[in-house]
Structure 1
Amino acid sequence: MSELPSAEQIFASLPDALLLIDEDHHIGQVNPVAENFLQTSSKRLVGRKIGDFISFVDERLTNALEDCDANLAARNVPITIRDTHSAMVNFEIHAITSNEDWRLVSIAPLPVDGAAIGEREDQPHQFSIRAPDILGHEIKNPLAAIKGAAQLLNRGLSEDQKPLADMIQAEVKRITTLLDRMQSLSTNQPAQIEPVNIHSLVDEARKSIETAQNGAIKIREWFDPSLPDVLIDRDAMMQILINLLSNAVEATRGMDDPHIEVMTRYSFGAALQTKGSDQAIKLPVELIVKDNGPGVDPEIESEIFSPFVTTKNEGQGLGLALVRKLIGDMNGRIRHERDALTGHTQFMLFLPVAEKGQ
């Protein structure tokens, strides 16, 4: 297996502008999206106060930015950048649970007339070597070697062994596609949506996870066979399913009787109201992933889709942030519920359907 990307590499690949600030509001680290958004290099940002670069019309947000204990999320708020131009953004502040001296500021620019705010035609884009580019260079080469080795092995395998080699090749292709997608995350590239049978995709993800666990765990499927195809990005949805199922495996590890289930059903009334449109997108297909593990810690429950929020000793706290981004790109939605009695957590995906003829 290839070496996992570091937290710093994934930090650099996330699509929102991210700034780590200390208790005195000084910037300690930024990702390339923040450099582009603030139109300033990291060398000039690090060590300066965040208030030197951004300010708010709403004084309450300014106060929260200067409050070391503040955690907040604000939607559709105006922001001034370097006293030169303004933008509408979603703005969040999160405490770093493992280090109280630092906080994470997340700024997601909202589009205006189809263009990303903060990008002006009269100014050239700054060039920076992003972590996804490094990942693409360092990981794609060994992936190609793995794929080639699997193809060679496939020639000498028995018929009952060939599906394993085929799975290796399929997973290499999926990871390569994911790397390509990560390299373009910061450009908000549209999802490649198409009609997909969600049940066949879940079955692929289940087989991949069970094979990776050497058959030590079985994932139950409860499908509504009458559901139509969904309109999704196939590779992105596979990544979402792999992430959620892997989390479920981790949550039930060491249990005497682990239960992981995937269910599909028709969801009445679920819809997405998109900005700038009077028509809501109906999301009638619901996919549920649940397990009988201990569930999400109540202390971080409200922040589990935010970057760097995790209770895992070796976790990066980035998986669910990427899941939320990928599902949003497909005009879908994700939410979670925690059973008050058992503490078990389930994740629900709400997906649009493909119209007949698509």
Structure 2
Amino acid sequence: MPTPSKILVVDDEPRAVLLLRNLLTPEGYQILTAHSGAEALAVALRELPDVVLLDVMMPDMDGLEVCTKLRCDARLAQVPILLLTALDDRDSLLKGIAAGADDFISKPYDHTELRARLRTITRLNRFRQLYEDSARLEAAVTHAPYGVVITELDGRILQQNAAYTRLLAANRPDTQNFYAHLPPDTAQSLRGEIERKPDGGAPFETPLACALNPATVVEISGTLVPWKGRRMVHFMIRDLTEKKQLEQQLLHSQRIELLGQLAGSAIHDVNNLLTVIGSSAQLLEMKQGADLQRHLGTIMNATQRGVSMLRQLLMFARGEDGALESVNPAGVTAEVAHMVAETFGKFYTVTYATAEYLPSVLVDPTQIHQIVMNLCVNARDAMPQGGLLTINVDRRTVAAGVRAVMGDLPVPGDYVAISVRDSGTGIPPAVLPKLFDPFFTTKPKGQGTGLGLATVIRLVRRHKGFVTLETEMGRGTCFACYFPVDPSGAV
């Protein structure tokens, strides 16, 4: 239901004001009243009426002066003003026009004529307001920085702005069908979304990334709009090219920043491998026969892992990731277990257990080796006087609500878990929030880089996995790394 028009009646005669109120209220108008020029200005500025009925002959401030002052305010400059006057000579009418009046009604006025004049002038005023609103909206759409197009359901374009033409229609200026301006797969997806909407259904929005050429990326969203029994579609097209370029620049900056951390991480990990090589070389001096061959194999494996880690560092600097393979994780973890058992010394007991049947996981084997090796070195350092280090590999089904470190939210499903448990001192609660921060370490200066666990969490996340932690002061700590089962792999 439309809002009733506001009519401001201004007359210094109370009886005249009452007469007009009684005459016009049944017509559906909202009647505002004022009994002086000053009061009329105050009410008009506060209420912003649609029409002003203004008596000319008033004391202190006559109707012509009130009319002039109303026209000086931008909010009231277009409001229709009807002067009620007993003066009908030419000079009086010219003065009224000069003051800004739109029409005159002579006293005594005919009631039927007054009602007819008001109906006409309020209708024209509504049209003027609608035209101004439409012009403002059209200007906003025309100069909007994003593309706007309104179409029929079949894609025929009813209206479009310049940004739309620049972003989409420039590649096919010969057609007036929206879908012809899109790549076929995007057009099909949008058509399907619209066709699934029932008549009278709620508006939908479907953002779709659409690369028109290698240099331009846009996002398209559509809204179903019912209008006069028809169903039209209002599409908006946002140019994401600059945003994507900024994102790429940000990723590049972050990659350069992480490269420094990875360089330290590589030093940390290669140092672990060199420790293995050095220990095995020392043992070679005392071993012969089969033992000699076993230690040579350990040296070769450690050397290959070191080369692979440096290759990963180079690939990361180039913006590349290592190849993922569907493998049984038992082989990689067994190799690490053998390596640490040979090199950690006689004060450490290393046990290794794996489930009889393990599914495959899609991983980079060198990075899994890196993860487990880091956890084992951490476990050794947590037991300076020696102790029990247990490596376990098994299949686990993860339900919703499992708590992972760093606030990660695991996806429910089947995983292979690689856990490393020590019998050390446990992790103090004050240390836990910073445990996975790069360069954070509790070791004395010069004895650790603080990158071991930061590397672990980064690599596990790269494999779409997560890490859990159990620790108890005086009882030890267990880190478990979960990797999703490869659905295409063998069991």
Question: 1:353 is matched by which residue type in structure 2?
Answer: V
Q: Secondary structure of 1:166's match?
A: helix
Q: Secondary structure of 1:296's match?
A: coil
Query: How far did 1:297 drift?
Result: 2.4
Cα separation, partners in 2 of 1:300 and 1:158, compared to 1, 3 Å: same
Conservation of the 8 A alpha-carbon contact between 1:290 and 1:346: yes
TM-score (norm 2): 0.39
Conservation of the 8 A alpha-carbon contact between 2:312 and 2:321: no
Residue in structure 1 matched with residue 358 of structure 2 by the alignment: 227
Of structures 1 and 2, the one scoring higher in RCO (CA 8 A, sep 6+) is 1
1:348 matched to 2:348? The reply is: no
Query: How far did 1:265 drift?
Result: 2.8
Question: For residues 172 and 261 of structure 1, what CA distance do their matches in structure 2 show?
Answer: 24
Query: How far did 1:113 drift?
Result: 10
Question: 2:395 is matched by which residue type in structure 1?
Answer: Y
Pairs aligned (count): 224
Question: 1:352 is matched by which residue type in structure 2?
Answer: P
Cα separation, partners in 2 of 1:132 and 1:292, compared to 1, 3 Å: closer
Conservation of the 8 A alpha-carbon contact between 1:248 and 1:293: yes
Q: Secondary structure of 1:355's match?
A: coil
Cα separation, partners in 2 of 1:172 and 1:267, compared to 1, 3 Å: same
Residue in structure 1 matched with residue 247 of structure 2 by the alignment: 117
Question: For residues 236 and 357 of structure 1, what CA distance do their matches in structure 2 show?
Answer: 19
Question: 1:70-90: per-residue Cα shift (whole Å, max 9, x none)?
Answer: xxxxxxxxxxxxxxxxxxxxx
1:331 matched to 2:464? The reply is: yes
Residue in structure 1 matched with residue 395 of structure 2 by the alignment: 266
Q: Which of the two has greater helix per residue?
A: 2
Residue in structure 2 matched with residue 95 of structure 1 by the alignment: none
Residue in structure 2 matched with residue 45 of structure 1 by the alignment: none
Conservation of the 8 A alpha-carbon contact between 1:324 and 1:334: yes
Conservation of the 8 A alpha-carbon contact between 1:270 and 1:350: no
Cα separation, partners in 2 of 1:195 and 1:304, compared to 1, 3 Å: same
Residue in structure 2 matched with residue 306 of structure 1 by the alignment: 437
Cα separation, partners in 2 of 1:357 and 1:118, compared to 1, 3 Å: closer
Aligned-pair identity (%): 24
Question: For residues 190 and 116 of structure 1, what CA distance do their matches in structure 2 show?
Answer: 22
Residue in structure 1 matched with residue 418 of structure 2 by the alignment: 287
TM-score (norm 1): 0.53
Cα separation, partners in 2 of 1:190 and 1:344, compared to 1, 3 Å: same
Cα separation, partners in 2 of 1:357 and 1:114, compared to 1, 3 Å: farther
Q: Secondary structure of 1:298's match?
A: coil
- Structure 1 unmatched ranges of 5 or more: 1-111, 273-278
Question: 1:354 is matched by which residue type in structure 2?
Answer: D
Query: How far did 1:131 drift?
Result: 8.5
Question: For residues 379 and 336 of structure 2, what CA distance do their matches in structure 1 show?
Answer: 13
Greater Rg over alpha carbons, structure:
2
Conservation of the 8 A alpha-carbon contact between 2:327 and 2:362: yes
Question: For residues 223 and 113 of structure 1, what CA distance do their matches in structure 2 show?
Answer: 48
Residue in structure 2 matched with residue 29 of structure 1 by the alignment: none
1:316 matched to 2:473? The reply is: no
Equivalent residue for 2:378, pick from 244, 247, 259:
247
Question: For residues 281 and 116 of structure 1, what CA distance do their matches in structure 2 show?
Answer: 34
Question: 1:37-63: per-residue Cα shift (whole Å, max 9, x none)?
Answer: xxxxxxxxxxxxxxxxxxxxxxxxxxx
